[in-house]
Amino acid sequence: MNVVLLSRIQFALTIGFHFLFPPLTIGLAWLLVMIEWRGWRRNDPTWVRMGRFFSKILALTFAVGVATGIVMEFQFGTNWAVYSKFVGDIFGAPLAAEGVLAFFLESGFLGLYLFGRGRVSKGAHWFSILMVAVGSTVSAFWILVANSWQQTPAGYVVENGRAELTSFSAAVFNPSTLPRFFHTVDAALIAGAFLVAGVAAYLLRKDKEDGLARAALRLAIVFGLVVSILELFPFGHIHARQVAHTQPEKFAAIEGLYSSQSAAPMVLFAYPVTPPPQLKAKVEIRGVLSWMAFGDINAPIRGITDFPPENRPPLWLTFVSFHNMVVLGLYFIAAMAWGTWQLRRGRLYEGRRFLMLLIVSIPLPLAACQLGWMAAEVGRQPWIVYGLLRTSDAVSTSVPAGDVLFSLILFGLLYLLLGCLYVYLLVREIRHGPPAPVTAQA
């Protein structure tokens, strides 16, 4: 195996594993902002205990997220030195801004939030979880700025063998930054909602903590419905339109549009086969894709065969990951809508089968995040910076393949261990349940 492939596998492994944790952190942090607010303002011991319970899960998730995030800050330099030199003038700035404007905020205030209960005023304690939520969201913004610049570079010229900044605002607000930011952060909120809903459902099934579990489930279901709908429309729709307009190869690949046509169909189901690029067992609706992407059912859209083979992204993985993400997105809306309906009918807490469904659904938003990320990043291939630098030309030239293989195995084993321990400790924490009520004042 060569250095390029090994470095790509290592990057995919390290960022894929890392990307399990920040969405949960962001989603849970915002839910805790609501939970702690209620506990503080209404002086309600149930909500205070709920806050303490979920803050333990937040702490565990945050710790693994931070630990695996350290790698990301340095891996561009260790494994992608040519890339780092080429994009440093633009790409380094958002990473540094993320540190200055976000990491300090979330890490500093997380310490205050976790250890400060009773040490600082209740208002200051609530403010600390708010700052954790704000910090983690700002962090998502800057990292998406950096990544979006790779997708749709803007505000630069290529001079002196590198991309040089011409406009910071154009680079930051490049065409894909905002669509991807809203789509990704909303996905994180869905992940948080399903976690809280699943945990509450577990407590209800075990007949533990009835009042607390019902309140948590109610919050998670209603919040979850809102964010799940928003994820499809407008955020998902806007993002897909942006890809259609700015990265036509990626759009053709994820949508499974292999030959250029007007009144392009939306493929609902198919099995992609290559070569030659074709879809088997296809179910499609004519004109819908043209209408969704360009507002006209007859609009022509370029198919993948319209692009030179050396510029085409892998077709199977992009199509399959994108479509499965959409299926999961629709499932999230359906599940939360059903839950809200049951809540209105007053049957939410007794529907044991639905509660079970919520429990097993906890990891699904994370699966959707991974699939969406694969569609986005694999869809950008063969470019590391779309149209400017190929992935195959971007690796560190001074690092031998053996070294990368060694570090890949090292991270593989370490992350396997961390993943197992995280799940074990998470399940343990949930089984353990919320802290016992304090008779005097929590």
Of residues 83 through 122, those in contact with other proteins by CB under 8 A are 84-85, 87-93, 95-101, 103-105, 107-112, 114-120
Q: What Cα–Cα distance (Å) separates residue 362 from each residue in 28, 176, 355?
A: 12, 29, 11
Provide the minimum distance between the beta carbon of 407 and other proteins in the complex, in angstroms, as a whole number: 4
Please tell me whether residue 67 binds other proteins under the rule CB under 8 A.
Answer: yes
- Residue 271 DSSP label: E
Q: Which segment (232-240, 351-359, 366-374, 395-403) binds other proteins by CB under 8 A?
A: 395-403
- Residue 120 DSSP label: B
Provide the minimum distance between the beta carbon of 134 and other proteins in the complex, in angstroms, as a whole number: 12
Q: Smaller CB distance to other proteins: residue 158 or 285?
A: 158
Q: Which segment (214-222, 228-236, 338-346, 392-400) binds other proteins by CB under 8 A?
A: 392-400
Please tell me whether residue 136 binds other proteins under the rule CB under 8 A.
Answer: no
Structure tokens belonging to residue 15: 């960022």
CA dihedral 331, 335, 337, 340 (to 10 degrees): -170
Distance CA 64, CA 419 (A): 9
Contacting residue, 59, 226, 367, 405, with other proteins by CB under 8 A: 59
Contacting residue, 15, 63, 170, 230, with other proteins by CB under 8 A: 63
Q: Which segment (77-85, 260-268, 272-280, 331-339) binds other proteins by CB under 8 A?
A: 77-85
Q: Are strands 300-301 and 261-262 parallel, antiparallel or unpaired?
A: antiparallel
Provide the minimum distance between the beta carbon of 409 and other proteins in the complex, in angstroms, as a whole number: 11
Q: How many residues bind other proteins (CB under 8 A)?
A: 71
Please tell me whether residue 416 binds other proteins under the rule CB under 8 A.
Answer: no
Provide the minimum distance between the beta carbon of 96 and other proteins in the complex, in angstroms, as a whole number: 4
Provide the minimum distance between the beta carbon of 43 and other proteins in the complex, in angstroms, as a whole number: 20
Q: Are strands 383-385 and 389-390 parallel, antiparallel or unpaired?
A: antiparallel
Contact set for other proteins, span 177-216 (CB under 8 A): none
Phi, psi of 14 (to 5 degrees): -70, -40
Q: Smaller CB distance to other proteins: residue 327 or 409?
A: 409
Distance CA 128, CA 117 (A): 10
Provide the minimum distance between the beta carbon of 414 and other proteins in the complex, in angstroms, as a whole number: 6
* Element containing residue 235 per DSSP (H, E): none
How many Cβ atoms are within 10 Å of 203's Cβ, its own excluded? 23
Please tell me whether residue 222 binds other proteins under the rule CB under 8 A.
Answer: no
Task: Collapse the DSSP code of 112 into the 3-class scheme (helix H, G, I; strand E, B; otherwise coil) and give the result.
Answer: helix
Distance CA 94, CA 144 (A): 9
Structure tokens belonging to residue 353: 């089968």
Contacting residue, 25, 46, 79, 176, with other proteins by CB under 8 A: 79
Please tell me whether residue 271 binds other proteins under the rule CB under 8 A.
Answer: no
Please tell me whether residue 299 binds other proteins under the rule CB under 8 A.
Answer: no
Q: Which segment (19-27, 62-70, 221-229, 263-271) binds other proteins by CB under 8 A?
A: 62-70
Distance CA 274, CA 283 (A): 18
When computed from its CA atoms, the radius of gyration of the chain, rounded to whole angstroms, is: 23
Q: Are strands 389-390 and 261-262 parallel, antiparallel or unpaired?
A: unpaired
Contacting residue, 68, 184, 228, 242, with other proteins by CB under 8 A: 68
Provide the minimum distance between the beta carbon of 239 and other proteins in the complex, in angstroms, as a whole number: 26
Residue 211, CA atoms < 13 Å, CB-side half-sphere: 7
Please tell me whether residue 64 binds other proteins under the rule CB under 8 A.
Answer: yes
Q: Smaller CB distance to other proteins: residue 67 or 357?
A: 67
Please tell me whether residue 74 binds other proteins under the rule CB under 8 A.
Answer: yes
Are the C-beta atoms of 68 and 21 separated by less than 8 Å? yes
Contacting residue, 2, 5, 168, 300, with other proteins by CB under 8 A: 168
User: In the beta sheet, which residues pair with residue 272?
Assistant: 279
Contacting residue, 350, 428, 431, 437, with other proteins by CB under 8 A: 428
Q: Which segment (30-38, 67-75, 196-204, 340-348) binds other proteins by CB under 8 A?
A: 67-75
Residue with tokens 């209105």: 344
Amino acid at position 290, single letter: S
The residue count of the chain comes to 442
Distance CA 113, CA 101 (A): 18
Provide the minimum distance between the beta carbon of 186 and other proteins in the complex, in angstroms, as a whole number: 26
